Structure 1
């Protein structure tokens, strides 16, 4: 796999990001039980907000000429940034691209960070704990919080850490 480029997604990238979003939501459906809409898509309000809300920003991850993932950050104007969505296509996983992408995204927005994931997603558990340790050493925490509006789901795990410019 060739080098990784992490850049802000523009309106010109919107269609590519939307397709990657569908793959991301499909992956998460294993843990959330979310089924596609009648038209075969998944809910996309959070992605639309990433392009339209000044408090959020979408990133596109590219390896060579290939889009390999997305990241969405929210909380830009608040005290804590949240990695609201993060996805790497399966063919690029376990190559170091995910860790590199998170490092680059987080470096763009120094300060306190939070990242949520599901305990049932074993790969995500290992990945996000490794990310926290790589970025923050021992200075990170993990706690469980209920999923808003979804009492049927187990609580999400939340990792918190802080970065500095």
Structure 2
């Protein structure tokens, strides 16, 4: 049973534009740490968002068998007392290791005013409780603030970590059971 049901809300279809805007804030923060170019339109490109919104029927009205795979993509809004504080994107299977039998924290973002308050660690706990089992959490090695956060947030879960090279970048991959 989740300890704070008001902290985590699965994002609905209506929330997709909101999550897309939050991703812009997230990528802006990330661009301060790693080389992440902004597009000519003034927006950062995030090609994976569509995978987190899905329907069991394709454009032709027929059942879409890819839906079963997409079902394991879960977008969340992080909030407190109805006030938006961030988002998380969770998926089944780890692209860094090709392991399928685990949950993967694809993205996790808490807005700056709510950092260093314990909110992010509580949100992580809620997400793990919503998806029990094995977890993989990747963090870019260059992202020292994120590494610091995840080391502290995952301490109660006895996470082990290892360096992993993936897609031309160096990562710290945390593994644990949540």
Per the normalisation by structure 1, the TM-score is 0.85
1:31 to 27, 30, 33: 33
Q: Which runs of 4+ in 1 moved over 6 A?
A: none
Partner residue, 2:128:
106
Q: Does 1:54 align with 2:76?
A: no
Assess if the C-alpha contact under 8 Å between 2:141 and 2:171 holds in 1: yes
Partner residue, 1:91:
113
Offset, 1:50: 1.4
Assess if the C-alpha contact under 8 Å between 2:92 and 2:101 holds in 1: yes
Mark the runs of 5 or more structure 1 residues left unpaired by the alignment.
none
The 5 A counterparts of 1:117-136 are 117-134=139-156, 136=157
The 1-side partners of 2:146 and 2:34 are apart by 14
Q: Does 1:156 align with 2:168?
A: no
Per the normalisation by structure 2, the TM-score is 0.79
Secondary structure, aligned partner of 1:49: helix
- What count of residue pairs does the alignment treat as equivalent? 154
Partner residue, 2:83:
66
Once the two structures are superposed, residues 11-52 of structure 1 have per-residue CA deviations (whole angstroms, 9 ceiling, x without a partner) of 111121111111111111223311111111222222221123
Assess if the C-alpha contact under 8 Å between 2:6 and 2:82 holds in 1: no
RMSD (Å), alpha carbons? 1.9
Offset, 1:125: 1.4
Assess if the C-alpha contact under 8 Å between 1:60 and 1:69 holds in 2: yes
2:16 to 14, 17, 20: 14
The 5 A counterparts of 1:70-81 are 70-75=87-92, 78-81=100-103
The 2-side partners of 1:43 and 1:55 are apart by 23
